[in-house]
Structure 1
Amino acid sequence: MSSEISDQPDIEAADIEAVRIEEEMEQSYIDYAMSVIAGRALPDVRDGLKPVHRRILYAMHEMGVKSTSGHRKSSSIVGETMGNYHPHGDSSIYDTLVRMAQDFAMRYPLVDGQGNFGSMDDDPAAAMRYTEARMASIAEEMLDDIDKDTVDFSSNYDDRLTEPDVLPAAFPNLLVNGASGIAVGMSTKIPPHNLGEIIDATIHLIDNPEASVPDLMEYVKGPDFPTGATIVGRDSIHKAYAEGRGRLRVRADYEIERSDRGSDKIIITEIPYQKNKARLVERIADDIKSGDIEGISDLRDESDRDGVRIVVECKRGANVDIVENQLLDNHLESTFGVILLALVDGQPQVLSLKEALEEYIAHRKEVVRRRSEYELDEATHRSHILEGRLQAVQNADDIVELIRSAEDRSDAKDALRETFDFSTDQADHIVRMQLGSLTSMEADEIRDEYESVQQDIKRLSAILEDETELNAVVKQELRETKSEYGDERRTNIIDDHRDVTHEDLIPEEQSVIVLTESGYVKRMSVDQFDDQRRGGKGIIGADVKEDDRVARVLCASTHDRLLWFTDKGTVYSTKGYEVPEMGRTARGTAAVNVLNLDEDESPVAVVNASDVDDEYLVTITKQGYIKRTHVDEYENILSTGIIAADIENEDVLQDVTTTDGDDDLLISSRNGMAIRFSESDVRSMGRSARGVKGINLGEADTAVCVSSISDPDSTTLLTVTENGYGKRTPLSEYRPQSRYGKGVVDIKTSGRNGPVAAVRPVEDDDHLFVYSASGQIMRTRAADISRVGRNTKGVIVMELESGDSVAAIGTLCSDSCSTE
């Protein structure tokens, strides 16, 4: 064999061209890239279809698998498409067929599938031998009039058949159903839109060619995904439409079901487009297990054929607002990157909304023009035939005699042409006519048809000669498509003028925050409590355990920053909304669920620090040690807390207040003593300092409260005792003195009054929330409590049950703009 080869003479090449290999490689790669771009990966701007989509629909059209026919095996459709038009493998064809049948993937599915075509959980479709399909009704609009020379055809891959280069497309499918694809060095990702909105914008652009993108956005509000959900931010939509590129933030739709028992639920009803529902649920579950999301007791996917329903059940006492925000942050929002890239005259081009519609309008006008030319040719030919038939009816006897005397059909045709001046087509038609067509009744029908054809010729000629008439036809057909297939928008759009944070998503409202001695906390809306006259019993405000009692009550907004001070001198920071909201009769949640407390510490005081600017925090301990520290030292509070005061011996932190640097301080004791002095008497110290003595306490006496006095002329000092008695006294009766004095008598604590429970500076219009140790709460106005002098017993403020006592007081300014 080798000898035979060696014996053959060398043959010189007819033509040898020397090329640089890098240039050849570059050109070959470009040729390959363009073949992928134009032949597989990118949609045509005119019909919005890639070749595989177009070939599937055309194959179904040729097979007669219309919306009115029965379903056909998917394998049959795939085989026909692959054998005649798309020789790239059955799996890619079937995958495309499946997607065109999925109502969660396409806004207006082009295929009507029967069987398992997959799900939002990314479940695969059944094998093609088990499923059936036919064209959806709207898909027939894509192919309507394709047999009227409306589009160009090219040979298929083996030159046996021809296939359309583009479909006539009775609606702008590129924008209506969107598209996605990855080519060589480029990709496209076009979101779906509402058919009615796109058609309205198209008609507007036909009437107003100078319309801008903002003008078109009066009609096209934004993408309209088949899975609904919500687009956050109109600016990003405008950018995508104006530039052809943009990033949309898509948020799941959900509702919150609140329960009086504290077990709130978040019901997710719609998820972002192209989000895998099963994977979404799985990722939420993973975050719950890892502790990245807290406060969820159960997670269930209750979705069915009717729609999505994912139930997120919160733990009893958990703050549903925080759970909601954690889900939004990590799972319920996704980004849809818009790249409006399509083939224009065979070349990839990034388009604006206006440019995409202009290209479609130009295509549709060309389709209508070519169809009109085709129909005009048909009508003109028919008119010519009808003219011959009318002449034949008028000369029926002569024509019958002429045909009878002819030797054959050819002689008869020649005789008709010579005698009556018929054309070849007219003579052919007359020879084939039946005798029954020569009756007078038939003649009337021919005349009616002739007149109708003449009207068609006039109409079609006007369309071809007048651009206005052509546009009118395009608009009318678009309106008919909208009327037939238009539906309501599914995707909502909300404004987003700034970045959304957890706090932005939570309504700001005034709340009452309750803290018990055993470390239970909760939040309630102030609207749950109506004003009462002093001396009332109040209503249930907390379900306190037998061995527990209310320790503190604070009025604050859900957006306020709260500083929690513990008995060990540690401070923690939260927002108001991070405290779980519960009903009046609820006990609350353990503080360890809100604060990262050590085992042996409990919160004893909470301060609203939201309005604190260049100010100080002042702490007081039971033994009377006072300390003043600048708020800057409390800026960066760790989740594990930071030191707020050095607590020694058997002492514990008792109370905290804020000052502006020029206030007076007033310390009140359990036995009814009070001392007022300038805050400058307490130098500013670091957080870790113990402080200095603020009041010289008597035997068995302890400090109860520390108050800051900034406006003594409009402020009175409210003092309430444990037995429910209290009074308001002008601050002028508390003369300033030096720090560490014994002070003056504020209120008598012997007999009926009992020890001091709480002391607060108040103004007449302030609202008071008086809490008893057992959980009763009463809301009243400060003005309802009598103004009397020092060293008096006061009046009844709250009527208490036997064994109960006043535990704490919260104050709320009349305009709800700030809290004590």
Structure 2
Amino acid sequence: MADGEKLIPINIEEEMKSAYIDYSMSVIVSRALPDVRDGLKPVHRRVLFGMHELGVRSNSSHKKSARIVGEVLGKYHPHGDTSVYDAMVRMAQEWSLRYMLVDGQGNFGSVDGDSPAAMRYTEARMRKIADDMLIDIEKETVDYQLNFDDSLKEPTVLPTRVPSLLVNGASGIAVGMATNMPPHNLSEVIDGTVAYIDNNDIEIDELITHIKAPDFPTGGTIYGYDGVKEAFHTGRGRVKMRAKATFEEVQGRECIVVTEIPYQVNKADMIKKTADLVNDKKLEGIANIRDESDRNGMRIVYILKRDAIPNIVLNMLFKYTALQTSFSVNNIALVNGRPQLLNVKEMIHYFVEHRHEVVVRRTQFELKKAEDRAHILEGLIIASDNIDEVIAIIRASKNADEARTNLIERFKLSEIQAKAIVEMRLRQLTGLEQDKLRTEYDEIMLLIADLKDILDKKDRRMSIIKDELLEIKDKYGDERRSVINIAGGDLSMEDMIPDEQVVITISHAGYIKRTPLSEYKTQNRGGVGQKASSTRNEDFLEHLFVGTNHQYMLFFTQKGKCFWMRVFEIPEGSRTSKGRAIQNLINIEQDDSVKAFICTQDLKDEEYINAHYVIMATKKGVVKKTSLEQYSRPRQNGINAITVREGDELLEAKLTTGSSEIFLGLKSGKAIRFEESKTRPMGRNASGVRGITLANDDDEVIGMVSVHNFEDEILVVSEKGYGKRSSIDDYRVTNRGGKGVKTISVTDKTGGLVAIKNVTDSDDLMIINKSGIAIRMSVENLRVMGRATQGVRLINIKGNDSIAAVAKVMKDEDDLEEAEILDIEVNAEDGTEIDNSDSEESTDPDNPETEE
């Protein structure tokens, strides 16, 4: 160590800590965060002040960007030229700032993420609104600080009349903190600020009636309001943004046309990523994407495939692409040099406070200037009153200094007044000029009184702030660009899935699937049918139901348990696929199986569930009614629907409105009709009451029908493929618990009854054999017969096969082939005609053979 040198030992931990804190505070205060008063970061403030000093204002000609950047760089901002140019460019981009501050000429980039031209090619000047951010800056309204080399002074804040922080927002990443503020509509912000000035105790909810939500430069839709409200109240929140899209037909093809995209989304990137999703088959239904944007505005066209549903494709785009994004609000700004999280009222408060300080300082500056001028005018008036003597004194003096001294001694003037008199021009000796002096003096005294009144009264200062704000609103206020969709919320699965009709099938072994109804085609009555499912040899289809994707499925098991799920949650399968085991979808016990299910539209709407009931029937003829509301809160392991007695099992469950009539059909061919009101509502754990009395121990209930439209007809089907429809009026209303009346003549040829349904001419019928063969036919092909007849052959049963399930299907004219109406059935096996008139029995409901 050389002589005279001194080593100071330091703790490296302390040194690193202090150095890092200095650096981080420098970034926070001098680079990344905006000031709450003018809403600007240092670089933006320096760009605007540099342009102001350079004289590149809104009323001047454009100047080369390189000249402006050089001015800012050399005088105020000792960083790279890129940071200055990028900041200036952003202030000139209509998709970046809600109210642009710089008027650019040349290529300033694009919403596709294209870079602006180099600064040597572009030109710029300030916009009028930026002039209003710098107005009164020369009136000592703001503090100045030394620049980086202490050679010049720059303002610490601008005396802005525009509430720039709320109007244009800000974003920046500091050390350990970041800010992300959305832009708002100028008219709304000023209305809110005026409301705050009128009432400092205004609640945030009242402010929200003026400042409704952020207003993004690119427009679009604000989807959902909870995040907006949270951001206004706390300073943090998540604002969901969606593109503005419409459906159009272009050259005969359905298209989705997007004219506005969410804020800060790169259009070219978004289109590329969407195309990649389409190519990877992650987005279905889109044939082509075209960007037709031009100087007239944005237009992105998504050309759809012919079978695509526009709404569903649009929801998929919202889900998987940047057509829906969210803006994470984080209102951190510098308050007195310290970072602080601010709600909307606090931001308005600090802006009004800043404007108040500017008005006070401006008034003080103008008052001092007026008093100085009044002081000089007093001296000039004294001189003009004694003009001959003044001239004599000046002529007698050797020089100006002596003249000033002599005037001060003679008229008791101040140095400033004496100097003004000595420098007075000869023309001011005229009578007209002397009158002007007195008029100006009177006006200045009135101005001084007015300025003092402003400084004395806060109400007047606040009134001035309001008037200036309303002037800004008149000059620059415009309509909202972003539309608010208050009802918006998270996209759910059902938004992704079309609400189309589907066939739900459940096999005997418990396999379930849903298949689009359009996969099944209509055949004529008596056809052989088409394959509905490929099941294992020992398995067969037992249940078939038609519903829509968005409905709720209630599953009722033979042990009396209830489970529920959405129809779209059932795995989709083709017409010939086996499906998925129900045990994999719901927690059903191994020795239990699903016996009935209900498709219901809503389990959330109280009015709906309180007006509906579930009627259940067991094989032993027990019925039970329970309110639907009791099934609206499911558990994963299911809930009890009915207590099933020993030796019995649940067979059927139907949804009713409380005013229906119930039909129960027996295997022996009997049926009973009674009013639903005869069965009182019970709790979920009750076991029910007798619905029909069985003829013998071998007999059992095969089905239940709930009828509320008495124009329907009753259709019955036997296991050997015979069936018919009869008028409801053929069945007289009895009390529940009776033996029933004959509904079909059961013989060895027909086999026992397997299904009872209520139908109309507009229904189709789906019949499935245990072997998996299915046939679909129109009900209108079946003529109405008496209830005690044998019926006609509906499906040709081969060998030992028999019918497993029957379901009715709504007719779809676009999908179905027209079926022929036949009165005589042709036997498909031997070609002989079956005359059904011989098999008809008495249809008299009072016939003692058919009564109980």
TM-score between both structures, scaled by the size of structure 1 = 0.70
Q: Aligned to 1:608, which of 547, 555, 558?
A: 547
Aligned to 1:444: 435
State whether residues 554 and 564 of structure 2, in contact with CA within 8 Å, keep that contact through their aligned partners in structure 1: no
Q: Are positions 1:120 and 2:111 aligned together?
A: yes
User: Could you tell me how far apart the structure 1 residues matched to 2:126 and 2:703 are?
Assistant: 79
Aligned to 1:379: 370
State whether residues 225 and 273 of structure 1, in contact with CA within 8 Å, keep that contact through their aligned partners in structure 2: yes
The correspondence of residues 722-737 of structure 1 with structure 2, limited to 5 A, is: 728-730=727-729, 732=731
Deviation at 1:49, TM superposition (A): 0.9
State whether residues 729 and 788 of structure 1, in contact with CA within 8 Å, keep that contact through their aligned partners in structure 2: no
User: Could you tell me how far apart the structure 2 residues matched to 1:361 and 1:320 are?
Assistant: 49
Aligned to 1:637: 570
Deviation at 1:400, TM superposition (A): 2.8
State whether residues 694 and 740 of structure 1, in contact with CA within 8 Å, keep that contact through their aligned partners in structure 2: no
SS state at 2:617 partner: coil
Q: Would the alpha carbon gap of residues 633 and 362 (structure 1) be closer, same or farther in structure 2, given more than 3 Å must change?
A: closer
Aligned to 1:66: 57
State whether residues 718 and 761 of structure 1, in contact with CA within 8 Å, keep that contact through their aligned partners in structure 2: yes
State whether residues 177 and 192 of structure 1, in contact with CA within 8 Å, keep that contact through their aligned partners in structure 2: yes
User: Could you tell me how far apart the structure 1 residues matched to 2:704 and 2:312 are?
Assistant: 33
User: Could you tell me how far apart the structure 1 residues matched to 2:195 and 2:92 are?
Assistant: 31
Deviations for 1:639-698, whole angstroms, at most 9, x for unmatched residues?
A: 34663799xxxxxxxxx9979652899xxxxxxxxxxxxxx999789xxxxxxx9899xx
Aligned to 2:286: 296
SS state at 2:247 partner: strand
The correspondence of residues 517-536 of structure 1 with structure 2, limited to 5 A, is: none
Deviation at 1:22, TM superposition (A): 1.1
State whether residues 233 and 344 of structure 2, in contact with CA within 8 Å, keep that contact through their aligned partners in structure 1: yes
Aligned to 2:706: 710
State whether residues 715 and 730 of structure 1, in contact with CA within 8 Å, keep that contact through their aligned partners in structure 2: no
Q: Would the alpha carbon gap of residues 141 and 574 (structure 1) be closer, same or farther in structure 2, given more than 3 Å must change?
A: farther
Q: Are positions 1:464 and 2:478 aligned together?
A: no
User: Letter of the aligned partner of 1:300 in structure 2?
Assistant: R
User: Could you tell me how far apart the structure 2 residues matched to 1:25 and 1:45 are?
Assistant: 31
Deviation at 1:181, TM superposition (A): 0.6
Deviations for 1:716-737, whole angstroms, at most 9, x for unmatched residues?
A: 42679xxxx9974536289667
User: Could you tell me how far apart the structure 1 residues matched to 2:159 and 2:384 are?
Assistant: 41
Contiguous gaps of at least 5 residues in structure 2: 520-531, 536-542, 582-595, 599-613, 621-645, 652-665, 670-701, 717-723, 733-738, 766-776, 793-810, 823-852
Q: Aligned to 1:573, which of 493, 514, 521?
A: 514
Q: Would the alpha carbon gap of residues 630 and 479 (structure 1) be closer, same or farther in structure 2, given more than 3 Å must change?
A: closer
Q: Are positions 1:421 and 2:412 aligned together?
A: yes
SS state at 2:175 partner: coil
Q: Aligned to 1:10, which of 3, 20, 23?
A: 3
Deviations for 1:520-556, whole angstroms, at most 9, x for unmatched residues?
A: xxx9xxxxxxxxxxxxxxxxxxxxxxxxxxxxxxxxx
Deviations for 1:326-362, whole angstroms, at most 9, x for unmatched residues?
A: 1111122111111100111111111111111211111
State whether residues 597 and 640 of structure 1, in contact with CA within 8 Å, keep that contact through their aligned partners in structure 2: no
State whether residues 503 and 516 of structure 2, in contact with CA within 8 Å, keep that contact through their aligned partners in structure 1: yes
Q: Would the alpha carbon gap of residues 183 and 246 (structure 1) be closer, same or farther in structure 2, given more than 3 Å must change?
A: same
The correspondence of residues 319-718 of structure 1 with structure 2, limited to 5 A, is: 319-331=309-321, 332-496=323-487, 499-503=490-494, 558=499, 563=504, 572-573=513-514, 607-608=546-547, 610=551, 612-615=553-556, 637-640=570-573, 643=578, 661-662=616-617, 708-711=704-707, 714=710, 716-717=712-713
State whether residues 225 and 486 of structure 2, in contact with CA within 8 Å, keep that contact through their aligned partners in structure 1: yes
State whether residues 662 and 710 of structure 1, in contact with CA within 8 Å, keep that contact through their aligned partners in structure 2: no
Residue identity (%): 41
User: Letter of the aligned partner of 2:65 in structure 1?
Assistant: S
User: Could you tell me how far apart the structure 1 residues matched to 2:386 and 2:779 are?
Assistant: 109
User: Could you tell me how far apart the structure 2 residues matched to 1:289 and 1:134 are?
Assistant: 46
SS state at 2:349 partner: helix
Q: Would the alpha carbon gap of residues 312 and 365 (structure 1) be closer, same or farther in structure 2, given more than 3 Å must change?
A: same
SS state at 1:101 partner: coil
Deviation at 1:25, TM superposition (A): 1.2
Q: Would the alpha carbon gap of residues 731 and 393 (structure 1) be closer, same or farther in structure 2, given more than 3 Å must change?
A: farther
Aligned to 1:761: 758
The correspondence of residues 194-213 of structure 1 with structure 2, limited to 5 A, is: 194-213=185-204
Q: Would the alpha carbon gap of residues 11 and 135 (structure 1) be closer, same or farther in structure 2, given more than 3 Å must change?
A: same
Q: Are positions 1:89 and 2:80 aligned together?
A: yes
Deviation at 1:455, TM superposition (A): 2.1
Q: Are positions 1:143 and 2:134 aligned together?
A: yes
User: Could you tell me how far apart the structure 1 residues matched to 2:312 and 2:99 are?
Assistant: 37
User: Could you tell me how far apart the structure 2 residues matched to 1:505 and 1:387 are?
Assistant: 83
User: Could you tell me how far apart the structure 1 residues matched to 2:785 and 2:434 are?
Assistant: 113
Q: Would the alpha carbon gap of residues 378 and 288 (structure 1) be closer, same or farther in structure 2, given more than 3 Å must change?
A: same
User: Letter of the aligned partner of 1:662 in structure 2?
Assistant: A
User: Could you tell me how far apart the structure 1 residues matched to 2:348 and 2:160 are?
Assistant: 13
Deviation at 1:280, TM superposition (A): 0.9
State whether residues 66 and 136 of structure 1, in contact with CA within 8 Å, keep that contact through their aligned partners in structure 2: yes
Q: Would the alpha carbon gap of residues 211 and 657 (structure 1) be closer, same or farther in structure 2, given more than 3 Å must change?
A: closer
Contiguous gaps of at least 5 residues in structure 1: 1-5, 507-522, 524-557, 581-594, 599-603, 618-627, 647-655, 666-679, 686-692, 697-705, 746-757, 808-820
Deviation at 1:254, TM superposition (A): 0.9
Greater CA drift, 439-448 or 606-615: 606-615
Aligned to 2:38: 47
SS state at 1:417 partner: helix
Deviations for 1:239-265, whole angstroms, at most 9, x for unmatched residues?
A: 11222111111111111226896x321
Deviation at 1:631, TM superposition (A): 7.9
SS state at 1:264 partner: strand
Greater CA drift, 232-241 or 142-151: 232-241
Deviation at 1:386, TM superposition (A): 1.7
Aligned to 2:624: none
Q: Are positions 1:166 and 2:165 aligned together?
A: no
User: Could you tell me how far apart the structure 1 residues matched to 2:118 and 2:210 are?
Assistant: 41
User: Letter of the aligned partner of 2:571 in structure 1?
Assistant: L
TM-score between both structures, scaled by the size of structure 2 = 0.68
State whether residues 173 and 179 of structure 2, in contact with CA within 8 Å, keep that contact through their aligned partners in structure 1: yes
State whether residues 316 and 496 of structure 2, in contact with CA within 8 Å, keep that contact through their aligned partners in structure 1: no
Deviations for 1:81-127, whole angstroms, at most 9, x for unmatched residues?
A: 11111010101111111111111000111111011111111111111
Aligned to 2:21: 30
State whether residues 730 and 787 of structure 2, in contact with CA within 8 Å, keep that contact through their aligned partners in structure 1: no
State whether residues 743 and 788 of structure 2, in contact with CA within 8 Å, keep that contact through their aligned partners in structure 1: no
Q: Would the alpha carbon gap of residues 381 and 629 (structure 1) be closer, same or farther in structure 2, given more than 3 Å must change?
A: closer
Aligned to 1:652: none
Q: Aligned to 1:252, which of 243, 268, 282?
A: 243
